[in-house]
Amino acid sequence: MVLRNIKPYTLCFSICLLPLLGIIVDMLFGNLGVDPILSLHIRLGDWSLRLLWLTLCITPLQTVTQWRGMSQYRKMLGLYTFFYASLHVLVYLWMDQGLVWSAITRDIIESSYIWFGLIAFLLIFLLAITTPLIMVKKLGKNWKKLHRYIYIASIAVIIHYYWQLKGNMAEPLFYLLILTLLLAFRLALWFKNRKFAKLMIPTTRKINVVKDESFTED
């Protein structure tokens, strides 16, 4: 009965916080395994990745269902992606490296997978700060072009994820398959819209129009 009174947006917002709540509970009860920092780092990264893919799925779902209200969920999921990604980075910088910038710099130089993680995070950060309506209005047509960088960020995330797992192909391939399907959908939609636009181009040829008088008044 209580759930009936909760708005879908509020429910979705709350659900996105559940992974963090679960992580906090495991921290308090010491259930993060033999290497708590590594476990914390990985779990936050995993949820950032999952939320990023959910964000990518919103546009195709909105296109299929014609429910424009889904755009608000895309915005929320995108910001939650940035939130979990920020915690993922914070755990690495603070808890893993102790904010020792010389060690962090050396680790970034020596670990190629971190490069791609950094690229992905910077792109997601860029998308997050341009999400507010004031930025949408300020950027105008360039806003959509900028937010297509989410696909570049997704590719960088997959590479980062694959190299971090040191050769484990199963999960990266799963996410790559979903990304490929999403890109194929977007490409098919682009071709469809392009074809429709060509059909709508006004013609200069003379067209004989036959007036239908079956419903005209005397």
Tokens 């999403």 — which residue?
A: 182
On the question of pLDDT at 218 being above 70, the answer is: no
Burial 190-207 (b: 16+ CB within 10 A, else e): eeeeeeeeeeeeeeeeee
Band (pLDDT 50/70/90 cuts) for residue 4 is low
Whether residue 92 lies inside any domain: the answer is yes
Domain annotation covers residue 99: yes
Is residue 67 predicted with pLDDT exceeding 90? no
Residue 212: inside a domain, yes or no? no
Burial (CB count <10 Å: 0-12, 13-18, 19+), residue 3: exposed
The pLDDT assigned to 78 comes to 93
Lowest mean pLDDT among 107-111, 164-168, 212-216: 212-216
* Residue 66 reports pLDDT greater than 50: yes
- pLDDT band with cut points at 50, 70 and 90 for residue 127: very high
200 lies in some domain: no
Query: Does residue 206 sit within a domain?
Result: no
Is the model more confident about 207 or about 185? 185
Six-digit token pair at 146?
A: 């900028």
59 within some domain = yes
Gap between the Cα atoms of 155 and 29, Å rounded: 36
- Structural domains of the chain, count: 1
Structural domain of 84? 3-191
CA 129, 47, 91: angle at the middle one, nearest 5?
75
Residue 72 lies in a domain: yes
The reported pLDDT for the residue numbered 2 is 53
For residue 23, pLDDT beyond 70: yes
27 domain residue, yes or no: yes
How deeply is 7 buried, as exposed, middle or buried, from its count of CB atoms within 10 A (0-12, 13-18, 19+)?
Answer: exposed
User: Contact 152/123 with Cβ under 8 angstroms?
Assistant: yes
**110-119 pLDDT tens trace:** 888 899 999 9
Mean pLDDT of 157-178: 82
